[in-house]
Amino acid sequence: MATAMDSAAIATYLENQRTLILSTTKKDGAPVAHALWFVYCDGAVYFNIQAKSFKYKNIQRDNRVSCLVESGERYLDLKGVMIQGHCTPVTDPAEQERHEAARQEKNGRMGDGMTGMPEWFHSNRQQRLNRNDRVLLKVPLEKVTTWDFSKVADYYKAKAGSKPAEQ
């Protein structure tokens, strides 16, 4: 009974999620997790962070990271993609443009996550984004582990003699 997703399912899933948990290691070797909005394109997850942040300092010191994207409130709805790989800055202008186009497409499709926020927050956020102190990073899908527990439901329903589509 396999719960793994194939490459097409992974791409679809990542294209339709907003938040990933980025795990880095601190100077003393302790792991630390950071929630970030991300974009999936070109076979990698992309996110931007402040260049002065301790997240980025951790990555500069050791660029091995783990990224977790997961969803589901009920057991049979659990899905996830865990990516283990190396996080690197994106310096190629063409790649930056592809990321920006993918980000805009995602925001157009899913919303930008800022709907309903007060105006003072929007203006403050825009000022922070315009300070030019952010770095675009990417983590290619080097080592990927996935799960989709809805496949478990279909397996057990079939084994019990029910049709997989029944809930």
Per-residue pLDDT of 141-161, as tens digits, reads 999 999 999 988 777 888 888
User: What's the domain range around 109?
Assistant: 7-157
CATH at residue 131: 2.30.110.10
Strands 79-86 and 143-148: antiparallel
Residue 13 lies in a domain: yes
Residue 163 lies in a domain: no
Contacts of 55 (CB under 8 A, 6+ apart): 22, 24, 34, 49
Per-residue pLDDT of 50-87, as tens digits, reads 999 999 999 999 999 999 999 999 999 999 999 999 99
Residue 165 lies in a domain: no
Residue 164 lies in a domain: no
Residue 91 lies in a domain: yes
Residue 166 lies in a domain: no
Per-residue pLDDT of 108-139, as tens digits, reads 898 877 777 777 766 666 666 666 789 999 99
SS3 for 104? helix
In this prediction the pTM is 0.86
Residue 1 lies in a domain: no
Q: How many domains does the chain have?
A: 1
Region of residue 146 (left: phi > 0; alpha: psi -120 to 50; beta: else): beta
Written as six digits, the tokens of 13 are 């899933």
